[in-house]
Amino acid sequence: MFMGHFAMALGAKKYAPQVSLGILFLACQLADLIWPNLVLLGIEKLEIEPGVTVMTPLDFVHYPWSHSLLALLFWGVLFAGLYMALRHAGSRAAIVIGLLVLSHWLLDVLTHRPDMPVTLSDSSRIGFGLWNHPVLAVSVELLLFAAGVWLYTGSTRALNRKGSIGFWLLVVFLLFVYAANLLGPPPPSSAAVAWSAEALWLLVAWGFWVDRNRAPMLAKTH
Ligand SMILES: [Zn+2]
């Protein structure tokens, strides 16, 4: 899952208008931001196995600290709690952030084969395997993304050209990265995958920048 995660963050803006899109990106992708570091440290394990699913050659051998339900519950509570404490935010913002962290697990369960850990042990792993059904998988990702973009543009307005053009460039860039991953050759090594996953930080930064140049739209009054 790729576009779907960003879709959740974009859509969440409507429910937590004061929270920057950068924070929302950080929350929805926290699992994939933690994961490459653990892979590079040798704590979590990834292998390249063409054919493991139809759409991706990535074999997620072991990743309980970044991708189990239990770990993401923990990271979600931690991130939401830190945000509340540091930004003096209300509980609504914290709940949205916590749910976004958790949403990563639910969406990954949809696309992954049964490799998503529930607890820190590898004994119970689930996944509905949409990655073996490309048309369905791509449709779900793009529909979610379209809904996210629609909610975000409906609940914020651009303050300047950075806020409008910068946002639409971000949308195009995400679509481009998704397509390149789907259509490109299998990556040369698990380390290469992990290093390129670190580029997610760029998208987080882009989210902060776009959001600074847009403002929440106030609910219409009569
Ligand atoms: Zn993930």
Contact of 9 with 171, CB cutoff 8 Å = no
Ligand 1 mean position to 31 CA, how many Å? 6
What is the residue whose two structure tokens read 């073996």? 132
Helix (H) or strand (E) holding 157: strand 156-158
Q: What is the pLDDT of residue 122?
A: 87
Ligand 1 mean position to 114 CA, how many Å? 13
Q: What is the pLDDT of residue 219?
A: 60
Ligand 1 mean position to 45 CA, how many Å? 13
Q: Which residues contact 202 (CB under 8 A, 6 or more apart)?
A: none
Q: What is the pLDDT along the chain (222 residues), one digit of tens a residue?
A: 999 999 999 999 999 999 999 999 999 999 999 999 999 999 999 999 999 999 999 999 999 999 999 999 999 999 999 999 999 999 999 999 999 999 999 999 999 999 999 999 988 999 999 999 999 999 999 999 999 999 999 999 999 999 999 999 999 999 999 999 999 999 999 999 999 999 999 999 999 999 999 999 976 544
Ligand 1 mean position to 8 CA, how many Å? 13
What 3-state DSSP class applies to 20? coil
Ligand 1 mean position to 96 CA, how many Å? 19
Ligand 1 mean position to 221 CA, how many Å? 40
Ligand 1 mean position to 39 CA, how many Å? 13
Q: What is the pLDDT of residue 220?
A: 56
Q: Which residues contact 148 (CB under 8 A, 6 or more apart)?
A: 6, 7, 8, 9, 10, 11
DSSP string, 78-144: HHHHHHHHHHT--HHHHHHHHHHHHHHHHHHHHHS-S-EESSSSSSSEE---GGG-HHHHHHHHHHH
Q: What is the pLDDT of residue 218?
A: 72
Ligand 1 mean position to 29 CA, how many Å? 7
Ligand 1 mean position to 68 CA, how many Å? 10
The token duo for 65 is 């600290």
Ligand 1 mean position to 77 CA, how many Å? 18
Ligand 1 mean position to 84 CA, how many Å? 25
Ligand 1 mean position to 217 CA, how many Å? 31
Ligand 1 mean position to 160 CA, how many Å? 33
Ligand 1 mean position to 38 CA, how many Å? 13
Nearest CA to 72 among 9, 113, 120? 120
